[in-house]
Amino acid sequence: MWLRRLSISFVASAVSLLLGCQAVNHSSSSSSVSSGEILYVVDNGNVTTYSIDPASLQPSVAETPVNLLPASSSSLLQFVPAPNDNSVYVLWSDSGQQEHLSTYSTDPSGVPQVPAIQTLDVSSLSQLNIHPSGKFAYAMQVEGSYGPFTSTIFLFHIRRSGMLQPKGQVLSKYGPSPTPTLLYGMTSTGTELYLGSDQQKGPVYWERSVNKQTGTLAAQVLLLSPPIQDTTVFGTSLIIDYQNSLNTAPPRYVTVFPNTPNPRKHLIQCGSAMLSACGDTSNVQLDPSGQYLFMTDPASQQVRVGHINLAKHTIEDTGNFLPLTAQTPGFSFSPDGKFVYALLASDLSIHIFSFDRTTGILTEGSTTIPIPASAGFAPALR
């Protein structure tokens, strides 16, 4: 059984979609926007770049869609903006199921420029994570379709141009084992990298300290080993562990732990008696500030916003919510945590909300972005 999707709320944003190629000559953009909130809408190989006005929440198309895939038979796997958005990284596969990793520079508006400045041939590579410094990247190679699995962590150094060191450095290998070890992200400061494996007795999560000068990793330390199959969200100072209401019978809890290795005692355990959303949620996300939980509640068809009150050991309903999203979770925070982008089920459009981290209040903008059913989106900060 594959490890349940681990949510890292503080990681530089990336959408699980993807692309590639090689060489020079970049087209110019018509927009003069040079900084601020960026939103990429990605429909397989077609990428549309929007700039978001922070005051009006008005989206503006920076340029007509850019097609990044070399052929219609190619498939996008992952689209990852660099922390400074000066480049974007695209994992994609060709018609022969060969994976490639391409680097595209971006113009001052954040628009990816074609052709790619670099394309590497990679095999079974996934889970690309760019370090917050922008100096290196990590990816996991998982081999073994049905098991046993071998997982390998690769380190890629990033040049000033945004190009990757052509040959990734092998940092660690796991397995062969019945389940793969997966790579899920790192702290906003880039000091810790998280891994996990869905084992027979339940999921196990580890952290490995990052050398911020070289990118190498220290030995792994046990971070959390929940007693039952559940889902875990890592924040900068907190760990959120919860049972999915679609897969687990009541009673169900959302449990808050300190983000320390193998914590022995929880800070908060929230069930339906404390807050109905805690017992009903099918998905939990932690905002980048680490103060609020966004809980998808199928019963109310809302994504409820709860405030984490560590002093009172409670999760409190703020009264704020997103309407039901079209996917799970179906929303994403901007890298600075000031905005929430949500694909709503009501109209299959992206709605833009400002988010007040002092009060937990969501304020919706007046303009939405309709997107194709097959598309995804990735916020970035220029």
Q: What is the CATH number of the domain that holds 116?
A: 2.130.10.10
Q: In whole angstroms, give the CA distance from residue 56 to residue 36.
A: 13
**pTM surpassing 0.85?**
yes
pLDDT in tens, the chain (382 residues): 333 333 333 223 333 332 222 222 223 333 333 459 999 999 988 999 999 999 999 999 998 899 999 888 899 999 999 999 999 999 999 998 899 999 999 999 999 999 999 999 999 999 999 999 999 999 999 999 888 999 999 999 999 999 999 989 999 999 999 999 999 889 989 999 999 998 877 889 999 999 999 999 999 999 999 877 788 999 999 999 999 888 888 999 999 999 999 998 999 999 999 999 999 999 999 999 999 999 999 989 999 999 999 999 999 999 999 999 998 899 999 999 999 999 999 999 999 999 999 999 999 999 999 999 889 999 999 8
The dihedral through the CA atoms of 172, 178, 181, 182 has a sign that is: positive
Give the closest residue to 226 by CA, choosing from 204, 247, 253: 204
> What are the Cα distances from residue 23, in Å, to 102, 103, 120, 190, 242?
11, 10, 12, 31, 46
Distance of CA 174 to the CA centre of its chain: 23
> Does the residue 2 lie in any domain?
no
Range of the structural domain that residue 174 is part of: 7-381
Q: For the chain, what is the domain count? A: 1
Report how far residue 334's alpha carbon sits from residue 61's, in angstroms, rounded to the nearest whole number: 17
Q: Is 94:77 a contact under the CB 8 Å cutoff?
A: no
Domain-located, residue 1: no
Whether residue 107 lies inside any domain: the answer is yes
Residue 195 in any domain: the answer is yes
Strand partners, 271: none
